[in-house]
Chains A and B, each alone.
Chain A
Amino acid sequence: MRRAALALALLLPVLAWGAPPPGAVNEETVRQIAAQLRCVVCQNLSVADSPSEMANQMRGIIRERLQGGDTAEQVMAYFVDKYGEWILLSPPPRGFNLLVWTLPFAGIGGGLLVILMLTRRWSRRTRERPVAEPVDPATRERIRREMTELGQ
């Protein structure tokens, strides 16, 4: 009994650590959500990175929504609802967006194919380098004769 009580006493802080009290928001979660959202006033910065007042307010809204019990997905969905998918820094891979995800790989594949074709062409060309025509016996005989004449 006493042992069980001791175990509970030791375990309690661990359990409390594992489950944050309701209402407390992990700043890392706020940052992670903010990093996926485009800062609306600065085009190419995320809400996490932008020093603008608007981004600051958006981080506040993220924090507040999490405090209210929203999941990270629900918070993201809220912003998409208001701004459209434009607000997401990486568009979800479906529909027309799929092009953005596949095109680079298609480009790499195409490039590799061109390189393959070129190298095959070049290697073939070196292999096909013309072989010397076989010398007919008469010429061969003449060369041999002239060589011996020179040698003398």
Chain B
Amino acid sequence: MNSQLVSTLPAKDPRRLWRRGKWAIPLSIIPLLVLLAYGFWTDPRAIPSPLVGKPAAPFSVALFDGGRLNLGDLKGKVVVLNFWASWCYPACYEEAPVLERGWQTWKDRDVVVVGVDIQDTEEPARKFLKQFSITFPNGPDPTGKISVDYGVYGVPETFFIDRAGRIRKKHVGAVTDDVFTREVARLLKEGS
């Protein structure tokens, strides 16, 4: 009789608590599923750059065809700064003609394309430049300082810098004619 008394006690009975709370266990999986789904939808390699909107880090690079280029000297111009490597196939090979075409089209309109060759060796880099008849200024970054200053984590990456010397857009992967024209035209239209 005693046992029956216990089971009929309504309050704080763990059995009741269990019966009522049972649904919470399968339900607790939902946030976990949401988190997993979020993980599947986002690209683990896409890293938002904290540098967009900030002043482009100054640098000086020794060019492959002699001389030096100082980013500071290009103030007032729109700069397309491209990080590449000769081993970066196919993306760098796809965008090389695009960059050269863009340079030829826009060089007389206050636009400079600058190439920085990273994590590379000289000979294949020169071969690459010859293969695509690259004429815009290009130089190596042997210490990786320029790459880290721009938060580069792979090749190719391209930064569009406005006339005031601010990074306005970071493009990861091969640049297309569309992206090049759109970004350059937008920054030129802003004036200085």
Contacts and interface: CB of A to CB of B under 8 A. Distances in A.
Given A41-B153, A84-B49, A121 B18 contact: yes
Interface residues of A, number: 24
Given A121-B14, A130-B3, A41 B154 contact: yes
Interface in B17-34: 17-18, 21, 25, 28
A41 B148 CA distance: 12
B130 interface: no
A12 interface: no
B69 interface: no
B143 A110 contact: no
Contact residues of B: prevailing secondary structure: loop
A72 interface: no
B129 to A, nearest CB: 20
Interface of B: 3, 6-7, 14-15, 17-18, 21, 25, 28, 44-45, 47-51, 119, 143-145, 147-154
A83 B50 contact: yes
Given A57-B144, A82-B148, A121 B15 contact: yes
A60 B153 contact: no
A128 B9 CA distance: 14
Contact of A128 (B3, B51, B119, B153): B3
Contacts of A83: 47, 50, 151, 153
Contacts of A82: 50-51, 148-151
Contacts of A73: none
A81 interface: yes
29 contacts: A40-B152, A40-B153, A43-B44, A43-B45, A54-B144, A57-B144, A57-B147, A57-B148, A58-B144, A58-B148, A61-B143, A61-B148, A82-B50, A82-B151, A83-B50, A83-B151, A83-B153, A84-B49, A84-B50, A84-B151, A110-B28, A114-B25, A117-B18, A117-B21, A120-B14, A121-B18, A124-B14, A128-B6, A131-B3
Contacts of B3: 128, 130-131
A28 interface: no
B25 to A, nearest CB: 7
A53 interface: yes
A101 interface: no
B40 to A, nearest CB: 16
Contacts of B51: 82
A117 B17 contact: yes
Contacts of B44: 43
Contacts of A124: 14-15
Closest 9 CB pairs of A and B: A57-B144, A40-B153, A82-B151, A84-B50, A83-B151, A53-B119, A120-B14, A128-B3, A86-B47
A110 B31 CA distance: 14
Interface in A83-104: 83-84, 86
Contacts of A120: 14
A94 B17 CA distance: 35
B38 to A, nearest CB: 12
Contacts of B147: 54, 57
Interface string A106-140: 00001000100100110010001011000000000
